[in-house]
Amino acid sequence: MPLTPLVYWAQRHGEIYLRVELTDAQNISICVKEKLLQFRAQGHGAKGQNEYEFSLEFLSPIKPEVSHKSTQRQVNITVHKEQRGWWERLTAQERKPVFLAPDFDRWLDESDAEMEIREKEEKRNRLKASRHEEEGFVSLKTVYLFVYNLVQFLGFSWIFVNMTVRLFIFGQDSLYDTFHTISDVMFFCQILAAAEVINAAFGVVRTGVIPTVIQVVGRNFVLFIIIGSLEEMHNQPVVFFVFYLWSSIEIFRYPFYMLGCFNTEWKTLTWLRYTIWIPLYPLGVLAEAVAVVQSIPIFDETKLLSIPLPKALGTSISFSSFLYIYLVLMFLGLLINFRHLYKQRKKRFRTKKRKAN
Ligand SMILES: CCCCCCCCCCCCC[C@@H](O)CC(=O)SCCNC(=O)CCNC(=O)[C@H](O)C(C)(C)COP(=O)(O)OP(=O)(O)OC[C@H]1O[C@@H](n2cnc3c(N)ncnc32)[C@H](O)[C@@H]1OP(=O)(O)O
């Protein structure tokens, strides 16, 4: 007489779950034909280590594909009903086979199973809705970044082209009136650049906050305090160099970001974005340092932004004292950002190389 294992069952609208009580089951064979399922395996059951088998004639036809998973304690079988629906019993014969019992761990009655389906559907819908929301946010972010980069690109391109054309037409003379012709657009672009700090701080773009703060604060300090607030600085040729060096990188950086918004890139542009800062950054810092040094005697003379002191201590602390400290900060800022840009460059070209392999 073949030995029969204990079999527990439960159903859903689409599936039948069978749990066969056999430990360390091996050589499992499951055959399915229309309504019939035949199981055979070696394992440790109620009658010790032996070969066990059973067959079940289901109430309605089942699909031929049956999946099973054997664990140390049992064999779990999932059978798919040919047609979805609730079966009033498992087997064709009305009398339940003696080795068969309900699996109360998985047991659900019809209404509970329907509720389970509804819950699953609701969960799926919620997931879909949140994915849509996320996609909406992503596309909103893309539009925002694209427009921001486009505006900056147009602004800095206008500056760069204007200065280049004026240099060709007026030669050296153009160096002296850069501020008057360019400053409004430069003010606009650099005020707008504060958004880059916000973007970095709130994770809108994946970049460090410190390098961005150094960049934006450093430039705006030179633009608004050193050059903008001193009329004597307005027609200094150094303004030309500062503005020209700033715009030279931005006409490549912003279109690079614009393409990045659509996960696209143009290799030459990527190379330019991550390479031309190497000469431009030190030159830019040098030009800014020259402007700071040139402004020192003017701040001393005009006493602009100086801090008044009580009479006993002297007259005032000139703003130029702070500028000496700022020159050191500039050098530190240069080192931090140079290192940051070097890392970004290495990361960019290393990943690209790996992708190409
Ligand atoms: C607290 C007070 C501190 C005061 C300190 C004072 C110190 C003063 C020091 C002054 C030094 C400043 C000198 C400077 O003014 C001189 C010049 O600018 S000279 C001209 C040359 N300059 C440059 O080359 C620098 C240009 N600027 C920059 O590159 C950035 O501003 C910088 C923050 C330095 C670096 O950029 P970032 O960290 O963003 O690197 P990535 O470009 O590689 O971007 C990283 C990822 O973020 C994505 N990203 C970034 N921005 C955007 C954007 N606007 N739109 C879309 N995507 C963006 C980018 O695509 C990268 O993503 P992924 O890695 O996935 O590709």
CA atoms within 13 A on the CB side of 117: 13
ipTM associated with this complex: 0.97
**Predicted pLDDT at 353:** 52
What is the average pLDDT value for the chain, to the nearest integer?
93
Query: Known catalytic residue: 116?
Result: no
Percentage of the chain beyond pLDDT 90 is 83
**Predicted pLDDT at 357:** 42
Residue 210 has pLDDT above 50, yes or no: yes
Q: Could you report how far apart the first and last alpha carbons of the chain are, in Å?
A: 63
Residue 139 has pLDDT above 90, yes or no: no
Nearest CA to ligand 1 atom 21: 281
Higher-scoring residue by pLDDT: 162, 309: 162
Residue 239 has pLDDT above 60, yes or no: yes
Q: Which band of pLDDT confidence, cut at 50, 70 and 90, is reported for residue 88?
A: very high
CA–CA distance, 185 with 172 (Å, rounded to integer)? 22
Query: Known catalytic residue: 288?
Result: yes
Global confidence as pTM: 0.70
Residue 275 has pLDDT above 60, yes or no: yes
| Rounded distance from Cα 71 to ligand 1 centre (Å) | 55
Residue 134 has pLDDT above 80, yes or no: no
| Rounded distance from Cα 241 to ligand 1 centre (Å) | 20
Burial of 75 (0-12, 13-18, 19+ CB in 10 A): buried
For residue 241, CA distances in Å to 171, 182, 189, 280, 285 come to: 14, 12, 17, 11, 11
Q: Is the separation of the CB atoms in 52 and 3 below 8 Å?
A: yes
**Predicted pLDDT at 221:** 98
Provide mean pLDDT across the span 223-228. 97
Q: Which band of pLDDT confidence, cut at 50, 70 and 90, is reported for residue 136?
A: low
Burial of 227 (0-12, 13-18, 19+ CB in 10 A): buried
- Which of 156, 205, 281 maximizes ligand 1 atoms within 8 Å of its Cβ, making it the mutation to test the pocket? 205
**Predicted pLDDT at 269:** 97
Given 53, 281, 301, 342, the catalytic residue: 281
**Predicted pLDDT at 316:** 82
- Which residue ranges form the domains of the chain, and what is each CATH number? 7-107 (2.60.40.790), 137-356 (no CATH)
Least reliable range by pLDDT among 99-103, 117-121, 208-212, 226-230: 117-121
The 10s digit of each residue's pLDDT in 196-207 is: 999 999 999 999
**Predicted pLDDT at 356:** 47
